[in-house]
Amino acid sequence: MYRPNMVSVGTIVWLSSELMFFAALFAMYFTVRSVSGGEWPPKPIELEVPYSAVFTVILVLSSVTCQMGVFAAERGRVRRIAGVGAFWKWGMREWFVLTFIMGLTFVIGQGNEYINRNTFTPTTNGYGSVYYITTGFHGLHVCGGLIAFLIVLARSYYGRFTPEKATSSIVVSYYWHFVDVVWIGLYSVIYLIQ
């Protein structure tokens, strides 16, 4: 009889709790929006939608590269079997390194938006508070995913690549896909539905 992998089940249960956390952040956002009255976001706040769209696309595409790494790990291909240019023969390491770079690019882009591009702070008004809280917690979760990728990559360099190590790459992908889906929701609510 088939028994599901307990690490995968545990990860899914944990991600359910993370889903509740982000649901609370969405509830906070909509509550503050409903009681603020007037324009949303309030003037003079103007978000740079094209700038943030570039980094959103990078983050969403990183889910594709992450999944390609999982497919390679499931085949037992931990490293590439051809030249770097032959991406279709990449292993888990190459795909996960690319995913890490894309995730790091997103975090750097978000940090630059916070520091150099936004004309408001968390203390400007209610909008500033909910913007920085929701996007900030998401950014922390992306950083957690980046650390997880580094751990999986480091583990792939010692000993043989076992099914347990492949499972590690799979559960990290669950987390990464979750973080991406949450960002699509946050991006839609914060940047597109105004």
Distance of CA 17 to the CA centre of its chain: 16
From residue 152, give the alpha-carbon distance in Å to each of 9, 93, 131.
Answer: 18, 9, 32
For the chain, 194 residues long, give each residue's pLDDT as a single digit of tens: 677 788 888 999 999 999 999 999 999 999 999 998 888 999 889 899 999 999 999 999 999 999 999 999 999 999 888 787 878 889 999 999 999 999 999 999 999 999 999 999 999 999 999 999 999 999 999 999 999 999 999 999 988 888 888 899 999 999 999 999 999 999 999 999 87
pLDDT of residue 86: 79
Structure tokens at 116: 């150099």
User: What is the Cα–Cα distance from 66 to 109, expressed in whole angstroms?
Assistant: 20
Give the pLDDT of residue 6.
87
Residue-level pLDDT at 65: 98
Instruction: Report domain extents, the chain.
Output: 67-194
Q: Into which CATH architecture does domain 67-194 fall?
A: Up-down Bundle (1.20)
The helix (H) or strand (E) run that includes residue 30 is helix 6-36
> Do 12 and 174 meet the contact criterion of CB atoms below 8 Å apart?
yes
What pLDDT shows up at residue 171?
95
What local confidence, expressed as pLDDT, does residue 37 receive? 82
How far is C-alpha 163 from the geometric centre of its chain's CA atoms? 25
pLDDT at 82: 79
Residue 38: the pLDDT is 85
